[in-house]
Structure 1
């Protein structure tokens, strides 16, 4: 069970004594093997009353390092950190709100709020949880921004003429992850109904069905370093297209593609390369648009793999060595011919378990390769490939 912070905990952690206690415990291993010794040390450093809060803060800050930039002195709860957007994702979303008046109605500990406050004309953050609001106040100060913070229910508007930003909790009352918008906290339909006519941006899980969100003027799928992180639903003047995919990288590069881009590409014979588009592009249904941008074509119009003779820059693509009809016997013979001992298996359009297939192939050899298994029409096809970063 995650530790339940109190307002007294937050007040202590924000104090000079609390900061010193956290710093004093920062070098503790905090592993299962050292738990007893670590707790005893924390009690000596922080005192019996505050040791648990200090230990939890050290643990959460360590976890936050890979997600929230410059958060070494931030305060979190376990659930708030888990739901917080990665900084690059939050920063991208905030960039679309530059110069506007914005109210984050589920601001939690402020991971999104801080990025909005950096670019918005005016910024308000609200939450029902007093502990999280106190943490958001601390974190905002650490980040050098000063949004207005108020305690308010997201379902009862506390501002006027602002863009409303929300990130409903995607867990039901028992704490289990929920994919039904009606089970969000607050429920998504009630949240939308609470702000009629207002510009609205709602962060959601990427797997939601657009048919369940008829109010959304734009759906944006966002990935970071190849992993699809979220969908953002935009309503009103802040929506500019119907569908968008945004691809972010930790090195600072990013690009976007929308349903306004051309999508006129054929399905034709395989080229020299197979390209598996970024997951945000696939989930947004913009594979053809991405192919048209880069001079690629489809193997099959119902399959999301693309092919061409020149892969796009900055992607991991698969150079075709051999290809032909797929069955396990011929694939096994092909792998033995090339002495493949390490095999990456990519599958789309076929009902095959890659781990079970790998075991049945009984790989032997020193070479490494990738195999792309898919179908063209109704026929299963195998592509033996060499993966490369372009």
Structure 2
């Protein structure tokens, strides 16, 4: 759970003495020595706040703003900056003249990004410690202490929310009513002409949120980060209902929707197996992705696609050989190819890669990727160049 910050802790950390202590204190990785050094620098009453802040800043370095105040939970739940910027850009295109309220602002990440793209932004949180941190992190922002279920805004606003998806004990939750605050209650906010954007778990059962006009799955550098739920007033009436947004720190972003062409067939395996981005899979847009890139499906129920040329920038495996899956035959194939290291990917089969790997008795200088998949009513093994 991390150190339990107080409002006086935040006041100290933002004072001249606190800022000076943070600039001079660098944890060395030895817990006992670090505690002793912090106590010596600021005394026992503030040593915990100093040490925890320094450690959290180290964890945030390179991916979130430098020099911010955090709690451990706030840092863990913070929206990745490219994801927040993407959402802010979408909002700027459709709600530039409206008040946008970040009703679960925490320590201020989303509020800061929204404020850089929109003119009328307000951040709100019930937690006085996080709100004090947000005031230090985002100076000049309009911040208020308010319940997300009773937002301090007028009708016609856009509410941006990111309810917590873990219990106090750390258990991950997936049902809307188990989130904090409950997702259903946020959606039922009694404000006229109010729209809503909610960041939630990618694994949410979207049939439980019928108010969402569009469900957008967002990935960053190959990892699915969130499902963004957009209410009807923020998307075109005749627009798509499902969208995959793929963000990358190395390449231009791209999107796919259920309005795109989904014409693709089932075919025999080609030279390559292609693993679509997780946002595409979670959004149910595998056929649209295949149609865009001239690929085919190995099986209508399988996310892996195949073709003779892989799309650039995505994970793909060059197929060396394939056939019906049987453990003995796979072991013989890998031995013949002198494979000593193997990545095992399983789709639709009851096979545990960690238990299978030692039974394959691998030996040799080469590496390979093995894809085991249910195709029709049978199982096939694809031995590929390591991806």
- 2:306 corresponds to: 307
The aligned runs of 1:362-381 (5 Å cut-off) are: 362-381=361-380
Quote the offset at 1:72 in angstroms.
2.1
Quote the offset at 1:253 in angstroms.
2.5
User: Residues of 1 paired with 2:46 and 2:168: CA distance?
Assistant: 28
- 1:133 corresponds to: 131
User: Residues of 2 paired with 1:67 and 1:176: CA distance?
Assistant: 25
- 2:85 corresponds to: 91
> Following TM superposition, where does structure 1 have runs of at least 4 consecutive aligned residues deviating by more than 6 angstroms?
none
- Whether 1:190 aligns to 2:222 is no
Quote the offset at 1:174 in angstroms.
4.5
Larger deviation: 358-367 or 174-183? Answer: 174-183
- 1:104 corresponds to: 102
- 2:47 corresponds to: 51
- Whether 1:122 aligns to 2:116 is no
- 1:172 corresponds to: 167
- 1:320 corresponds to: 319
1:59-115 CA distances to partner (integer Å, 9 max, x unpaired)? Answer: 1111112531xx221001111111111111111111111124311011010111111
- 1:41 corresponds to: 37
Uncovered stretches (5+) of structure 1, i.e. residues with no partner: none
- What is the TM-score of this pair, normalised by structure 1? 0.94
Flag the 1:61–1:256 CA change in 2: closer, same or farther, 3 A: same
- 1:15 corresponds to: 15
Contact 1:157 1:195 (C-alpha < 8 Å) held by counterparts: no
Quote the offset at 1:157 in angstroms.
2.6
Contact 1:277 1:287 (C-alpha < 8 Å) held by counterparts: yes
- Whether 1:150 aligns to 2:144 is yes
User: Residues of 2 paired with 1:324 and 1:202: CA distance?
Assistant: 45
Quote the offset at 1:287 in angstroms.
0.4
Quote the offset at 1:237 in angstroms.
2.4
User: Residues of 2 paired with 1:201 and 1:239: CA distance?
Assistant: 11
Q: Partner of 2:273: helix, strand, or coil?
A: strand
Quote the offset at 1:44 in angstroms.
1.5
Contact 1:319 1:386 (C-alpha < 8 Å) held by counterparts: yes
User: Residues of 1 paired with 2:303 and 2:69: CA distance?
Assistant: 42
Uncovered stretches (5+) of structure 2, i.e. residues with no partner: none
Flag the 1:321–1:2 CA change in 2: closer, same or farther, 3 A: same
1:224-255 CA distances to partner (integer Å, 9 max, x unpaired)? Answer: 11111111111022234200111111225211
Contact 1:244 1:259 (C-alpha < 8 Å) held by counterparts: yes
Larger deviation: 250-259 or 146-155? Answer: 250-259
- 2:286 corresponds to: 287
Contact 2:197 2:231 (C-alpha < 8 Å) held by counterparts: yes
Quote the offset at 1:137 in angstroms.
1.3
1:27-61 CA distances to partner (integer Å, 9 max, x unpaired)? Answer: x21x3xx2222212111212222111000100111
Quote the offset at 1:175 in angstroms.
4.7
Q: Partner of 2:234: helix, strand, or coil?
A: coil
Contact 1:96 1:238 (C-alpha < 8 Å) held by counterparts: no
- What is the TM-score of this pair, normalised by structure 2? 0.94
Contact 1:316 1:387 (C-alpha < 8 Å) held by counterparts: no
Contact 2:275 2:314 (C-alpha < 8 Å) held by counterparts: no
Quote the offset at 1:177 in angstroms.
2.8
The aligned runs of 1:65-80 (5 Å cut-off) are: 65-68=61-64, 71-80=65-74
- 2:229 corresponds to: 233
Quote the offset at 1:162 in angstroms.
1.6
Q: Partner of 2:138: helix, strand, or coil?
A: helix
User: Residues of 2 paired with 1:65 and 1:238: CA distance?
Assistant: 34
Root-mean-square deviation (Å): 1.4
